[in-house]
Amino acid sequence: MFEEGQYFAPVHEKDDGTLSVQLGANHPGLNDPEYRARRDHLATLAARWQPGDPCPTADYTDAEHDVWRVVSDVLMESHRTYACSEFLEGKEILGLPTDHIPQLSEVSQTLAPLTGFGYQPAAGLVPLRAFYGALADRRFWSTQYVRHHSVPLYTPEPDVIHEVIGHGNTLAHPRFTALYELAGAAARRVETDDALEFVSKVFWFTLEFGVLWQRGDLRAYGAGILSSPGEIQEFRDVTIRPLDLVSMGTANYDITAYQDVLYAAESFTHVEDVVGHFWATCTDESIARMAHMAVR
Ligand code: NLE
Ligand code: FE2
């Protein structure tokens, strides 16, 4: 995902109508002209996309496919140990390739009969309300570029590996997509920016970085953990708090590093009961009351 409030690289339109992506000072691809050209090219492709069109084909290079292969291989093993069973079921059903990056259009075609979800390409920042609102229509705004090959284990910036291996496997499972849709409906229902931010923080600590107990083990169900071969090895060692809407919805978190606090649900059903119910019913007023309860 690529949304306001998260790490993202600003995008500018050049005189010739193509886009230029401005990478941050610490970005590993900053001084790699080939990588910069790829980022600009893929952003330009996404900007030309029109609603209703399939996602544009990203002619990935061998080097980009290599990054996918390396990350897929490592995650194959890690998912067995650290992913919750619903994610593993989705992964089994979706059957992503491990030897090359699939096109967003192909993954969308596979998802359509399963859950009705599909990707739409993001050139740059998608405003919070648009990003989440689209989930209510089963549309998932997605980046298409690949993380820099020098740091395959972790990127603060969502990339196609995060969108497809992290989110895609969950978008194949109806219990997950019911949650995405409820988050989307909540984002459309609330009116104030404060309430929207609360909804998005709950999303961050659940569908992005959620963990839950399964047969005595702490397992990940959040896409941000499940797409990072580095963070997936470490999440069991950080501060684990019980699932708590007020605390999640008001917490401040660092988007550029491994999370140091995670919220654990007792089960997947517990996520549905607490987080699903919250998204299904929240209003500006109910969120304002909850925010007021936050310990300051
Ligand atoms: N840190 C994740 C990864 O390396 O795949 C991406 C998180 C995007 C919110
Ligand atoms: Fe994401």
Q: What residues contact residue 153 under an 8 Å CB cut-off, 6+ apart?
A: 74, 228, 229, 230
CA neighbours closer than 13 Å in the CB half-sphere of residue 266:
5
Residue 157 is among the residues annotated as catalytic for this protein: no
Angle at 9 between CA 8 and CA 14, to 5 degrees: 145
Q: Which pLDDT score is estimated for 218?
A: 98
pLDDT tens per residue across span 221-234? 999 999 999 999 99
Residue 227 is among the residues annotated as catalytic for this protein: yes
Q: Does domain 3-295 have CATH number 1.10.800.10?
A: yes
Measured from CB, residues less than 6 Å from any atom of ligand 1 are: 6, 154-155, 158, 161-162, 166, 208, 224, 227-228, 231
- At position 36, the amino acid (one-letter code) is R
User: So where are the chain's domains?
Assistant: 3-295
Ligand number with the minimum distance to the CA of 208: 2
Q: How far is the CA of 114 from the centre of ligand 1 (A)?
A: 25
- At position 134, the amino acid (one-letter code) is A
Best probe residue, ligand 1, of 125, 162, 235 (max atoms within 8 Å of C-beta): 162
- Residue 89 pairs in a beta bridge with none
| Nearest in space to 104 (alpha carbons), one of 180, 15, 167 | 167
| CB under 5 Å of ion ligand 2: residues | 1, 223
Beta 139-142 vs 118-121: how paired, if at all?
A: parallel
pLDDT tens per residue across span 82-135? 999 999 999 999 999 999 999 999 999 999 999 999 999 999 888 999 999 999
Q: Give nearest CA residue, ligand 1 atom 4.
A: 154
Q: Which pLDDT score is estimated for 125?
A: 81
Q: Pick the atom of ligand 1 nearest to 166's CA.
A: 5
pTM of the model: 0.96
Q: Which pLDDT score is estimated for 7?
A: 61
- At position 93, the amino acid (one-letter code) is I
ipTM value, please give it.
0.99
Angle at 174 between CA 173 and CA 180, to 5 degrees: 95
CB 228 within 8 A of CB 163: no
Q: Residues of the chain whose pLDDT is less than 50? A: 1-5
Q: How far is the CA of 257 from the centre of ligand 2 (A)?
A: 14
pLDDT tens per residue across span 162-177? 999 999 999 999 999 9
Length of the chain equals 296
